[in-house]
A and B are shown apart, each in its own frame.
Chain A
């Protein structure tokens, strides 16, 4: 059974640019969450999507956005990148309705120069 797949795995951007990250959840999982992980702040919740609807949002500025498609795949976008956005962005999926267990992908490591 394939796990959560995230692309790209690594990327380098410059300040002011935007970035789009993609996530394919485990087959059958309908809920996708995004987290940011930095050494200083740890794992911080960005948002959660279920059935193409955003169900939860963390305390991040509006530059961070996301969406989910009908096949449960999800994308997140960060506009007007800042140096502080350098982080590991983790996507996680869960079945929804059965268990709260969250399974993470390998992450997308973003470096902003």
Chain B
């Protein structure tokens, strides 16, 4: 049973603050990790992917991966009200070049950024 757990939230932060979203996974062979953002009534949108231990930065977003601890996180710096959405953590057991596999999703963390 492959499980992906996210802090349940909801998470509420003021505009300009750092929002921290956490995710743990149960399958040690997991290789690929993704963060999706889903606005209410919309479909999930990929915002970050990470494959190696350490940090990966993209604009205001930083993904952190620690395979030994089976932990992946997403930091959103200078949070904006437009960041208010549900953030989904997803894990894939295939490597970067894999054509197979499926994504296991967490239940999501609802983030609200208030002005």
B49 at the interface (CB under 8 A from A): yes
Which residues of B lie under 8 Å from residue A30 when comparing CB positions?
99
Give the interface segment out of A12-20, A60-68, A71-79, A90-98.
Answer: A90-98
- Please tell me which one of the listed residues A42, A56, A98 contacts residue B102 in the complex, with CB atoms under 8 A apart: A56
Q: Do B97 and A104 have beta carbons less than 8 Å apart?
A: no
A84 at the interface (CB under 8 A from B): no
Q: Do A106 and B34 have beta carbons less than 8 Å apart?
A: no
Residue in B closest to A42 when the chains form the complex, CB atoms: B107
Given the contacts A42-B107, A43-B88, A102 and B97 also touching, CB distance less than 8 Å: no
Given the contacts A33-B102, A48-B102, A104 and B44 also touching, CB distance less than 8 Å: yes
Min CB distance B102 to A, Å, is 5
Which residues of B lie under 8 Å from residue A45 when comparing CB positions?
102-104
B42 at the interface (CB under 8 A from A): yes
Interface size on B, as a range, is 20 to 34
**B27-52 CB contacts (< 8 Å) to partner A:** 31-32, 34, 36, 42-46, 49
Query: B92-109, CB under 8 A of A: which get 1 and which 0?
Result: 101111111111111110
Q: How far is the CA of A102 from the CA of B44 in the complex (A)?
A: 10
- Please tell me which one of the listed residues B31, B94, B100, B108 contacts residue A42 in the complex, with CB atoms under 8 A apart: B108
List the interface of chain A (C-beta within 8 A of B): 30-31, 33, 42-43, 45, 48, 50, 55-56, 58, 88, 90, 96-107
List the interface of chain B (C-beta within 8 A of A): 31-32, 34, 36, 42-46, 49, 88, 90, 92, 94-108
In order of increasing CB-CB distance, the 4 nearest A-B pairs are A43-B105, A96-B99, A100-B32, A104-B43
